[in-house]
Homo-oligomer: A and B are copies of this chain.
């Protein structure tokens, strides 16, 4: 019964991408193993062959995988203009466009999952932490390239990410892009202010 999918990719890879998609949309506890298997077109046997530690191990790997998608989104914003302030502001715009495409159902790949397992799954929490730090580094690198001193860049990158994450939460709950549009203008302003004060 394997002939259904034409040129089917790795079962393992399908499990990871399916899990990443479900975690992004509805978090950890709402995502049942059965739903993952259905979405991935796999079975229990395969899952526990590749991930002996079960759902938790699979989720941790899926978060790291999903983090790459979000990084690509950030990169698109950060490289969208030679002007640093514009590039930073565009991160919020690009994010808003991406969220709208799923009608605000698919969000940051780690936020929903991270918030519900804090203090209860070190494995997943660490994967979340690594993802956030990677995004932060990505932003910081662009800030440095745009002329922000290294230490100020690390801090500013942190706040940019904070603002993006928070504005995403507010936008998704409200079902409109207001918070992200506002964040765009304020991030532009903040970036300019930091550069002047540095």
Contacts and interface: CB of A to CB of B under 8 A. Distances in A.
Interface of A: 26-27, 29-30, 103-105, 107, 111-112, 114-116, 118-120, 125, 128-129, 132, 155-156, 158-159, 161-167, 169-170, 172-174, 178-179, 182-183, 185-186, 189-190, 192-194, 197
A112 B104 contact: no
A118 B190 contact: no
Contacts of A105: 118-119
A189 B194 contact: yes
Contact of A162 (B129, B183, B185): B183
A195 to B, nearest CB: 11
Contacts of A129: 173-174
A129 B170 CA distance: 8
Given A156-B186, A186-B194, A132 B173 contact: yes
Contact of A178 (B158, B165, B170, B179): B158
Contacts of A190: 186, 189-190, 193
Contacts of A186: 155-156, 159, 190, 194
A159 B165 CA distance: 11
Contacts of A159: 163, 167, 179, 182-183, 186
A120 B162 contact: no
B120 A26 contact: yes
